Every structure is written in structure tokens, then in C-alpha cells.
A and B are shown apart, each in its own frame.
Chain A
Amino acid sequence: MDDRDLERTLRAGLAARAEKTDVRAAGRVLDATRRAVVVRRGRRRAALAAAAVAVLVGGGATAVVVGGGDDDPQQVATDPTSAPPEPAGPWRTESWGGLTVDVPADWGYGGAPMHSGGDVVACPGAPETGDGDIGWVGRPILSSDMCTVYPWLSSSPQEQSTTPYVWLGAAVEPGVVTYAGGLVEETVEVEGETLTVASTDPALRQHIIDSARPVEECPDSWGDTIPAGNSGMTDEGRGDPIDAVVCSYRREGNGYALTYARTVETDVVDRSWQAQAAAARITHDDTCMGEGPDEFVVVEARYTDRFGSEPLVQRAVFEMGCAGEVDLGPDFLDNGNQIRTRMTRAGVTPWADAGIATVVHAPTDGQFLAPLLIGLQG
């Protein structure tokens, strides 16, 4: 039997075996899929809108009652014995590019492996905010001048560490690595990004990997354009708040890609917008010799319009170029006049949380913002 015959035998053997599949299971699989999707949606909505969800427990079975949603039944019974044990919350979301995952809410932030000058390094290769023993979320961003070569050198502290972490978009090949200290690092590709989860707890790793989904809070990219600012104001004023987000982007190739996303209260956006409106106006083009910034942050809130169908959008766009400028859009009182102001601490402080401090670089001429954003020296 030559190789060609052998391959033919293999093809025929696999095809014949496939015919022995019990396809009567198809209906069962589809039913189970529908139930699982509904339960997952219920869990996600529970996290987003706890007031809309009530969990009733009784008789050894759990029923999830989901309010709202046209495509979901009002009540779905699930078998508690079939559900895998879930690590305890609470959780927060972390995003990078088109990817969002859930991570424990008390984890800090740090770096993640990235390509740099022919090497792969993490800067830093450890948590730089939060409690270092709890866990951290890392992105492939130069946020410190303390870099560690990846893969970790043998006998390095990282080889022995048991602190869990999640890396988003790291320069790590998919696969599993088990470290001397017992930490298991699993990397998968999802939503066009690498997702690396390291923990000694397999349930935690799986929960985080299973939570991977397309980013929802912010656009994953703005292409090669930077969005314009806007006051979101009308003669009649704004209606009720709908939602608010902080979304940061950095230049990737010919466009800008998402590096961080966070939902915030609408008053965070308004305080930032008002502070920047009060800052010094920029009346001439003093950007970096005409080049756009490498990073920008969109701080945006939406409100209902009492006299219109489309939401009103209040948006400040922080452009991290040389000087640091903020686009607030057309002047409400003088529509032909665009408001651009010098970036200030009062404008940045409302939204610069611990995550932003490890993701967004301060403008070159705005190093006074370094405690809030990444400075020249990390």
C-alpha cells in the first residue's frame, strides 16, 4: 500500500465513522444551546443591570428571571448540578482592541509582553498598581522603564510567582505554560487579539477565558480619524442621562485602536468637559508639526433629547500630542467657533483612574499630568 492508498483509506475511514454519529442528538444540542444562551444573557444583564434581575432559589433548582429583552423568555429553569462552579465576584470589564473580558474587580494593573527592538519585553513585568498579591491586568504598553524579558528568565521572580494575571494583546503565542511556582499561563486568540490568563486556579482561568466577547462600551477603532468634541447642549437643555464612557485609543498602523474602555457616571464627563471649557483656549495650530497625536481619549456621555429622537452627546476628546489639547466641539453660543483648550489637571482628574494611569501617556509638554497618566520615566 503506497502513501496515496493510505491517505485514501484514512479519508474513507473518517467519512465512514462520521456517518455513525447519532444525529438524533441534533435537537437536543440545539435545545441545550438555546437554554445556555438565555442563561448567559441573563448573567450578563444581571451584572450590568442588577435592578432588572431577580434570582429566585428554591427546591434545589435555580430560576433566573430576566426583565426586558424581546428575544428572551421571562423565566428559564436551569439544572444547578450541570452548571460549573463559578469563581466568586465581583468582576469588572477590561478591553483591548475588539476584545472585552471580565476580571476580578480588585486586581491592579501592569505591563504585558510586547515586541521592542527585536526582543519581547514586559515593561513592567509585574503589577504597578493595586495590591501586588491579588492579581493584575497587563497591556503591551510601555508604562515603565523597568522591563523584563519574556519568556521569563529561569529562576526569575516571575518563574516562582503565584500572583494571577490577565494580559490583553500580549506578544505571546497561544498555548499553555506551567511555571515552577505552580502558575499556569494559558494563551488563546479571540476577537483578533491574544488573551493570556495565568492562575493556579483552573476555574478562574476558565471563567475569564469564557467571558471573552466583542467590546461593547466603545468602538474598537476610529480608523484614521479622531472624533470631534461636542457640547451635547440644546436650547432646551439636556434630558436624562443614558450612559457615559471613557475610551482610549493609540495609533496602530494607519488607524487608531482601542486600548482601554470604562463606563463612568455622566457627571464625570460633565465635570471634565466643564473644566476643559474653562481652560486656556488654543488659537493656533501648535500640534506636533502637523502630525496627529499617537493617542487620544474620548470622554463621552449621552442624554435623552426631550424634543428629538436622537441622544444628545457630550464629548471631550483629549489628544495626547506634544502639547496636549482637548477638542470640545462647536461653541454652543457661537456655533462657528470650535473650542480647543490646553489640557489641564482639572480636566483629566475626573476620568483618570488607575487603569488609565498605566495605559495613556501624558503629552510630551504635559508632564505635570504624569501622576495621572504615564510620564516620560514611567
Chain B
Amino acid sequence: MVTQAPDSAPPEFAAWAEARVVALLRFAYVVTGSQEAAEDAVQAALVTACEKWSRIGRTDDPERYVRRMVVNGHISAWRRVGRRESSVAAVRGQVAADPGDAVARRDAVWRMCSGLPRQQRAAVVLRFYEDLDDSEIAAVLGVTEGTVRSHIHRALAALRREIDREEEA
């Protein structure tokens, strides 16, 4: 559902897109995990947004609407290829020298995210990068709030295991 911001002219699409494309690319990169997929996802979302700009441009937060399209487009693309693509359970061989190092932990976050199914990964990004709550994430992904909580819980458990493994190493 698009909420309208009454009595306000929408920003011009080209100027809006130019101002926001970098932020959208960063967001798409953490959602998709790949530079190429991020570019494809942002372009597809911007094309759709441009065609519907008379409506999207008047929403309270056009960028949130476009980010939602990035997420859904990425998940739908996965559905379209018949789930032939499978996520890796974990990325090995990149254990950091110093387990207590913040950089090592950030790498652990990325390895954990790389092993998540797309929808679960999207839930994690929407929570911890976008700061959305359960109901907002559920609306974006088209799932129940219980599913969102389950995604987040499992992701945190996976991250804890990844960090524990590093510390043991």
C-alpha cells in the first residue's frame, strides 16, 4: 500500500534517483551479496519507480518503497529461476588471525550472511541495516511476523556459531 503525502509535489524523478542511487546500491549490495546483482536490482527497481513516479513520488518515503522493490525483485528472481541457486552453508578458510579483532567479526558477519537463504538474509538486512521492526519486515517480505522473528533468531544463532568457531580457532 502506498501512502500519499497530500498537497506536496513529488520530487522530479531524475534528480531524486541521482541523489539516492549510491545509497540504493549500498543497500542492494548487502541484500544481494554481489555487486552485479546489486546493480541489476537497483536498475530494475528504478525503472519501475520511474514509470510509477507520479504515485511513488508522493509517498511519505519514496526510497523505502524503492528499497522494498529491490528486496522483492531479488527474492522473486530467485523464485523465477526455480531455486536452482543454493546458498552456501558457510564460507570456510577465511578465519581471521585475531578473533577479538573487530574486522574479523565484521568478516564473520558477512560469511554468516552469505550462507543465509535470500529471504532470511533480506530479513536480517532490513532489521540490522534498515532498522525496520517485525511488522514492517513482514509487510515487505509478504510473510508473518513469526517468520520474521524466526529468520532473525536463526541468523543471530548462526553468527554466534561463526564467532565461536573463530575464537576456538
Most chain A beta carbons < 10 A, residue from B21, B55, B124: B21
Binds B, one of A45-53, A185-193, A291-299, A314-322: A185-193
Say yes or no: B128 contacts A11, CB within 8 Å.
Answer: yes
Partner-contacting stretch, out of A2-10, A125-133, A251-259, A336-344? A2-10
- A297 and B51 CA atoms in complex are apart in Å by 28
Alpha-carbon distance A23/B57, docked complex (angstroms): 24
Contact A33 to B17, CB < 8 A, known contacts A15-B129, A175-B142, A186-B79: yes
Q: Is B2 an interface residue (CB 8 A)?
A: yes
Contact A21 B124 (CB under 8 A): no
Beta-carbon contact of B29 and A29 below 8 Å: no
Question: What is the size, in residues, of chain B's interface with A at 8 Å between Cβ atoms?
Answer: 46
Interface band, chain A = 35 or more
Other-chain residue from A18, A30, A205 in contact with B26 (beta carbon distance below 8 A): A18
- Which of A11, A12, A25 neighbours the largest number of chain B CB atoms within 10 Å of its CB? A25
Which of B17, B18, B72, B102 makes the CB contact (< 8 A) with A12?
B102
B22 CB contacts on chain A under 8 angstroms: 21, 23, 26
Q: Is A236 an interface residue (CB 8 A)?
A: no
**Which single residue of chain A is at the shortest CB-CB distance from B33?**
A17
Contact between chains at A213 and B129 (CB < 8 Å): no
Would you call A334 an interface residue if the criterion is a C-beta within 8 Å of the partner chain's C-beta atoms? no
Please tell me if the beta carbons of B102 and A7 are within 8 angstroms of each other in the complex.
Answer: no
Residues on A with beta carbons closer than 8 Å to the beta carbon of B50: 33, 37
List B86-124 residues whose CB lies under 8 Å from chain A.
Answer: 102, 105-110, 113, 124
Q: Which of A18, A22, A25 contacts B129 (CB 8 A)?
A: A18
**B169 contacts partner chain A, Cβ-Cβ < 8 Å:** no
A274 within 8 A of B: no
User: Do A213 and B30 touch across chains, with their CB atoms under 8 A apart?
Assistant: no
- Interface residue SS majority, chain B: helix
Per the 8 Å Cβ criterion, residues 61-79 of B in contact with A are 72, 76, 79
- What's the Cα separation between A26 and B76 when bound, in Å? 23
CA distance A37 to B52 in the complex (A): 11
| Residues of chain B contacted by A12 (CB below 8 angstroms) | 102, 105-106, 109
| Contact pick for A9, options B43, B46, B105, B142, CB 8 Å | B105
In the complex, whether A19 has a CB less than 8 A from a CB of chain B is yes
Min CB gap B70→A, angstroms = 12
Q: Is the CB of A11 within 8 A of B129?
A: yes
Contact in complex: A173, B46 (CB < 8 Å): no
Closest to B2 in A: A192
Q: How far is the CA of A312 from the CA of B52 in the complex (A)?
A: 29
> Which chain B residues have a beta carbon within 8 Å of chain A's beta carbons?
1-2, 17-18, 21-22, 25-27, 29-30, 35, 38-39, 42-43, 46-47, 50-52, 54-55, 72, 76, 79-80, 82, 102, 105-110, 113, 124-125, 128-129, 142, 155-156, 159-160, 163
17 of the cross-chain contacts (CB-CB < 8 Å) are A6-B156, A10-B128, A11-B128, A13-B106, A13-B108, A14-B124, A14-B125, A14-B128, A17-B109, A17-B110, A20-B29, A21-B29, A30-B46, A37-B51, A192-B1, A213-B51, A214-B54
